[in-house]
A and B are shown apart, each in its own frame.
Chain A
Amino acid sequence: MYSFEYERPSGIDAAAAAHGEDDKFLAGGMSFLPTLKLRLAQVDKLVDLGGIDELKGITVTGDTVTIGAMTTHGTVAASEDVKKAIPALAAMAANIGDAQVRNRGTIGGSIANADPAACYPSSLVALGATVHTNKRSISADDFFVDLFETALEEGELVTKVSFPIPEKAAYAKFPNPASRFAMVGVFVAKISGGARVAVTGAGSSVFRQSEMEAALSSNFSSDAIANIKTPADDLNSDIHASADYRAHLITVMAQRAVDAAS
């Protein structure tokens, strides 16, 4: 680890003000701290968002679940409100990393990092969530841009994420056996007037499987997508899984998610 400055402000504005060029917001640090320890990253200053209470917490109002950016995966997983409103979201959070990661890692940190194998991005995209920042609101479809790249501007920080409550949804994850990140993760949501399918782990960033969405919109059953193949051309290929295998798993995991949707 290279040396750096550390600041822990107690308000959103103070955090934004503290953040300069070559600085980084710390939102749990479950990905970033190991990167620092391995000297793969270097920052001038870490602005720790852990002291900002207004970034934490879950509220359910009418048709929306809103989760503060600094809410941990463990809190989401254990939330009776989330379990009731969007059980798929609580179940997905319950299966991220391990207990230590779930008790430190946050939704805001996860989506701002935009790891192509992270679970959370698929839930945002499939549920049609909105990402709220200290400057604006961004639809999930526009938020995730590419590998570790989001629509966030320099110094912009996520404050909360609001999820429309679907009719039903489920997430099916095929974990990388070593890291247990998603080798392929498919989040499926049945919403009024259609269905949304978001795939993580398989490409450079989370993406929607529109052919499956069309099929499920008219018939929300696993049979409807059994023969839909995802082109392997743009999918990841590594020592754990070829692009072909990932393409195959997308269909299998999507079917399992549809079958499990509640």
Chain B
Amino acid sequence: MSAVENGIGASVTRKEDQRFITGNGNYLDDINKAGQAYGHFLRSPYAHAKIKNIDLTAARAAPGVIDIFVGADMAADEVGGLICGWGISSKDGSPHVAPPHPCLAMGSVKHVGDQVAFVVAESVQEAKDAAELIEVDYEELPSVTDVRKAGVAGAAQVHDEAPGNQCYDWEIGDKEAVDAAFANAHHVTKMDLINNRLAPNPMEPRAALGEYDRGTGEYTLYTTSQNPHVARLILSAFVNIAPEHKLRVIAPDVGGGFGSKIFVYAEETTTIWASKKVGRPIKWTADRSEAFMTDAHGRDHATHAEMAFDADGHILGFRVATKANMGAYLSTFASAVPTYLYATLLNGQYKMPCIYAEVQALFTNTTPVDAYRGAGRPEATYVVERMMERAARDMNMDPTDLRMKNFIAPDAYPYETPVIMTYDSGDYPQTLNLAKNMISYDGFQARKAESASRGKLRGIGSAAYIEACGIAPSAAVGSLGAGVGLWESAEVRFNPTGSVTVFTGSHSHGQGHETTFAQLIADKLGVPFDNVEVVHGDTTKVPFGMGTYGSRSLAVGGSAIVKAADKIVEKAKKIAAHLMEASADDIEHAHGVFSVAGTDKQLTIGEIAFAAYVPHNYPEDLEPGLAENAFYDPLNFTFPAGTHIAEVEIDPATGVVEVVDWAAADDFGNVINPMIVEGQVHGGVAQGIGQALLEGVVYDDDSGQLLTGSYMDYCMPRADDLPNFKVEATNTPCPSNPLGVKGCGEAGAIAAPAALMNAITDALGKEIDMPATPEKVWRAAQSA
């Protein structure tokens, strides 16, 4: 428990929930401006087509229409296309191919839902009515949507700039060493695995409200962003909307993101640009159909993997070849996901002497693919952990024994993997053993027999996952091609009366920053929890920050807050020394109380803050005021890890899979708010179960039409699809940040798909791909 009330380690209920659950949140669509107009996008009905002509005549004459824009209008204004912010080089050293990504189509459309025109009208209905009057002369072209077909000779070409649809062909690791390891292998396990494409489905759809002030020449963009400063930087420096100091980006309460709101999209860009053109604020809010078509999707890998073992079951080498679907355009960080966020985690929790991975990224006529909860790491864990389970079955070993045999030892840190990561801390045997105890692993055979007596197939499966979070040391990611640094900023500002406002460059879209960060201040500075306000999401209010993704907010953003708080303490000590007529060296500090060593003299931080703002009795050489900012650049990634074990029961008559038990044993390092962390695990596991059992974006192979364009066909996990989760934690503190924290936001989504598929394939005695739909499972059960 924490040393102070509501401090570090306390399961404080979330202060933001009061407004969220009483309908008082301030989401994008809640914001309205005087004179506001409404935008609507006309979208491509085709997966791939040439635009021969666009006739706006009838649409312009429609009631309520203010203006209509097409690609040429943005080009004429020299407003650029969208960019990818991470450069990946192919094996031959050539840079990745990034074809033009216009906000509004320039002569062709590349996926269903691609933006063709932007109608601005007095109402949404009038904008939609007018859009139906736009006459577009399309010449439909052949399309390709399946990543396994995109690189095949004769496949439809998405971009002239990308022959063979290749974006890059990248490699990592030591091919020769791996070849040699396989030559000496006692056993080799091989698998082909599909990681299914997912639609992110945050509860709040994307939206934008753009406003231009003719008096000051300033733009304000309200947008559903996870990283408003990054959006401002890209819109300013690369898209040419306005200079940075003339562009304010505000991301208010944002209803979920899961990665999909990291990116700079065409719609938000077009909306802010057009607001100056029409001289009125413009609001655009996606409907759910648009979200399915245009929110960057996740995953979509096709992988062949081979793992070599010696006679004792020790891993000798790992060989992986992955085709990664980029979609029709390269999204903001798309290139990094299947490379440095994926292949660098293929080492898993194991001693792997050598690894060689090749990743070919391919364009298709589909929605762009980018980071989605876990981003690369779920794909890596899925490959590693399906392989480990399969290898154990091949070698007639218990899969948990095979893992235990190959784990990196708890005393082996720091541990350098063959794929450039240096793991900093962990205890993998501990989390595996904990998970086994939680689910009564040893009693499984009896439960299986009992299920069999009822005609049911029971299976158990594990996933020992690792992730790299707290992204990331700026110099390191810079050397790997990132176009940005990945530090974080904070300001801790005392008000004269002793309350505190914390400004963070990270962004909460459901994570609970307002609570967790207030706990940090309560703990570090002794300020009552309720007297701390956390401000985020406004480029004018907070210092430049990098935002929230990759489970980085606490490890990087929280560390910046701690650094700023430390500066506060240093300054407060000098003020306290002056006020108490002592030497600063003799001032001791604990939780906001400053005392003179060896005396009973003490002052609280509140008294010191007041003295700093009313400096009538104050050190001559010290600036008044008590506010400090800090920028924190992490020293390393953090490496949360753990084991999840799933248990399922399958009805072979129907193929229905029931998830009957779930054990999650996670090592997140130190934990600030255990309740919030447990909630993150629940949500992550739910999404992982969704991927394994229910979700999957499907395109028609011939036409490229999106077949899963609504909740009638895209299956989200519901409460009754899920078991009660058993969640427990271990703790090996992270040595590289001042809080010792690792990050918890993505773990569930990373661990769950592999654990669940391992349980299902255990029950079936047969390998199948995700999602394990009833028909797929039924067919496997018939032939098992």
Contact = CB atoms under 8 A, between A and B. Distances in A.
Contacts of B707: 239
Interface string B714-741: 1110000000000000000000000000
Interface string A1-18: 111000000000000000
A154 B383 CA distance: 58
Contacts of A2: 129
A252 interface: yes
Contacts of B125: 1, 3
A248 B778 contact: yes
A32 interface: no
Interface stretch (A71-79, A81-89, A171-179, A205-213): A171-179
A242 interface: yes
A252 B773 CA distance: 17
Interface string B114-130: 00000000000100110
A242 B775 contact: yes
B653 A252 contact: yes
B445 interface: no
Q: Is the interface of A mostly helix, strand, loop or mixed?
A: loop
A178 B289 contact: no
B712 A178 contact: yes
A241 B775 contact: yes
Interface string A92-134: 0000000000000000000000000000000000000000000
A178 B694 CA distance: 8
Contact of A239 (B128, B289, B698): B698
Given A1-B125, A3-B125, A240 B773 contact: yes
Interface string B288-306: 0100000000000000000
Contacts of B711: 178-179
A245 B775 contact: yes
A100 to B, nearest CB: 14
B715 A178 contact: yes
Contact of A174 (B289, B654, B698, B712): B654
Most buried by A among B129, B712, B773, B779: B712
A39 B443 CA distance: 55
Most buried by A among B128, B289, B773, B775: B775
A245 B773 CA distance: 12
A1 B287 CA distance: 12
Contacts of A240: 713, 773, 775
Interface residues of A, number: 18
A246 B576 CA distance: 78
A33 B709 CA distance: 18
Contacts of B715: 177-178
Given A177-B694, A245-B775, A245-B778, A239 B713 contact: yes
Most buried by B among A1, A242, A248: A248
Contact of B714 (A1, A3, A178): A178
Contacts of A177: 694, 715, 773-774
Size class of the B contact interface (CB-based, 8 Å):
20 to 34
B519 interface: no
Contacts of A179: 711-713
B44 interface: no
A197 interface: no
B259 to A, nearest CB: 22
A249 interface: yes
Interface in B674-699: 694, 698
Interface string A138-150: 0000000000000
Interface string B441-456: 0000000000000000
Contact of A252 (B128, B654, B708): B654
Nearest to A39: B128
Interface string B752-782: 0000000000000000000001110011000
A57 B200 CA distance: 43
A67 B773 CA distance: 37
Interface string A169-193: 0000010011101000000000000
Contacts of B654: 174, 249, 252
A38 B289 contact: yes
Contacts of A174: 654, 774
A241 B715 CA distance: 14
A230 to B, nearest CB: 15
Most buried by A among B129, B289, B774, B778: B774
B713 A178 contact: yes
Contacts of B773: 177, 240
Nearest to B656: A174
A97 B125 CA distance: 29
A117 to B, nearest CB: 10
Contacts of B716: 178
B363 to A, nearest CB: 24
Interface string B627-652: 00000000000000000000000000
A249 B653 CA distance: 8
Most buried by B among A38, A39, A239, A249: A239
A126 to B, nearest CB: 21
Interface in A241-262: 241-242, 245, 248-249, 252
- The 3 A-B residue pairs with the shortest CB-CB distance, nearest first, are A178-B715, A179-B712, A245-B775
24 contacts: A3-B125, A39-B128, A174-B654, A174-B774, A177-B715, A177-B773, A177-B774, A178-B694, A178-B711, A178-B712, A178-B713, A178-B714, A178-B716, A179-B712, A179-B713, A181-B712, A239-B708, A240-B713, A240-B773, A240-B775, A241-B774, A241-B775, A245-B779, A249-B654
Given A178-B716, A245-B774, 18 more contacts: A38-B289, A39-B128, A174-B774, A177-B715, A177-B773, A177-B774, A178-B713, A179-B711, A179-B712, A179-B713, A239-B707, A239-B708, A239-B713, A240-B773, A241-B774, A242-B775, A245-B779, A248-B778
